[in-house]
Amino acid sequence: MAVNGTELHYVEGGEGNPIILLPGWPQTWWAYHKVMPILATKFKVIAIDIRGMGSSHKPMEGYDKKNMALDVYMLVDKLGYNSVAIAGHDIGAHVAYSFAAQFKEVTSNLIMLDTPHPDPSMYSLPMLPIPGLDYTYPWWVAFNQVKNLPEQLLEGKMDIVTEWIFSQMLQDKDCVSEFDKKVYASAYNTADAIRASNAWYQAFGQDINDSKSYTKLTMPVCAVGGTGYDMLQGALQGQAEDLQLFRLDGCGHFILEEQPDIVAGIIMEFLQRQLT
């Protein structure tokens, strides 16, 4: 669907109150394929390839999360909804948060999955891995800032990156199948796809500045985290008036794949509680 100077691809199903699902890097709407059938038993689910992702268009600009949230808002409006719940994982969580912060009047609920919105603390990320600390050093946050070079190095080779990311950031290595990996690698394998997805990262400075203008969230907020739980807790406790936090034990970053039934159950209970 054409919105805000680009075109967004989305997949929908189910009936009921709408929930928008936004994925992150290095994935597509397919990241929600395990939870969508569960959520669709009670809700209208709409999983979107955000600007620059998958089957959506990849324009040369507009990748700050404030503008990407506007993309989603205009899509919601065109679909005829005046109130939606919105959930996001990874980069999608950045967009979901910005959506809720800008469009409070149409956001019934916000669900943040393992990732907070960029804030000034990002400038303190270490440039080198910290010896003795058991964590996955996020080298790609810096690498994806580089313009032109990544697409020259990685075009046609994104399977190497996705394989490494999933091997490092999952505790259950089998929950992302070889088919899933091929779906994601093929979505990012072109120079345009690499350029566009890296633009999400290159906009972090603007996203951080924009975050300073957002007022406290007034709608109910649910945050579900695996390895990202502590970051979510630290970021959202001062940003949301009505916050519910859930920690998933034995789970890495890709919580939609590792614990889909639990994540879907938390989301459904959270949304249904607000309806009663």
What DSSP designation does 35 have? Answer: T
Q: Are 110 and 219 in contact (CB under 8 A)?
A: yes
The reported pTM is 0.97
pLDDT at 275: 62
What is the spatial distance between Cα 39 and Cα 273, in angstroms, rounded to a whole number?
14
Q: Are 262 and 248 in contact (CB under 8 A)?
A: yes
What is the spatial distance between Cα 166 and Cα 113, in angstroms, rounded to a whole number?
17
**How far apart, in Å, are the Cα atoms of 80 and each of 2, 13, 18, 116?**
14, 15, 11, 28
pLDDT at 273: 80
pLDDT at 274: 64
CB atoms within 10 A of CB 164: 12
Picking from 15, 24, 71, 90, the residue whose alpha carbon sits closest to that of residue 46 is 15
Q: Are 224 and 266 in contact (CB under 8 A)?
A: yes
State how far Cα 254 lies from the chain centre: 11
The mean pLDDT values, 10 residues at a time, for the chain of 276 residues are: 98 97 98 98 98 98 98 98 98 98 98 97 90 91 97 97 97 96 98 98 98 96 97 94 96 97 98 74
SS3 for 218? strand
Count of positions (residues) in the chain: 276
What DSSP designation does 172 have? Answer: S
pLDDT at 127: 84
Q: Are 252 and 227 in contact (CB under 8 A)?
A: yes
